[in-house]
Amino acid sequence: MPSTADSILKLEVPIVVRIGEREMKLHEVLSMTVGAIVEIPKLADAELDLMVNNQVIGHGTAVKVGEKFGILVTFVGTAAERAAALAAGQSGSDAPSDEDAAAEDLAAQLLAGQV
- Computed from CA positions of residues 82, 88, 89, 94, in that sequence, does the dihedral angle turn out positive or negative? positive
80 or 100, greater pLDDT: 80
pLDDT tens-digit readout, 29-74: 999 999 999 999 999 889 999 999 889 999 999 999 999 999 999 9
> Beta-carbon neighbour count of residue 24 at 10 Å?
10
pTM above 0.85, yes or no: no
Domains of the chain: 4-19+40-111 (2.30.330.10)
Q: Residue 44 has what pLDDT?
A: 85
Has residue 93 got a pLDDT over 50?
no
What does the alpha-carbon distance between residue 114 and residue 87 come to, in Å, rounded to a whole number? Answer: 17
- Tell which wins on pLDDT, 7 or 31: 31
Across the chain, how many H-helices and E-strands are there? 4, 4
Which pLDDT does position 83 carry in this prediction?
Answer: 81
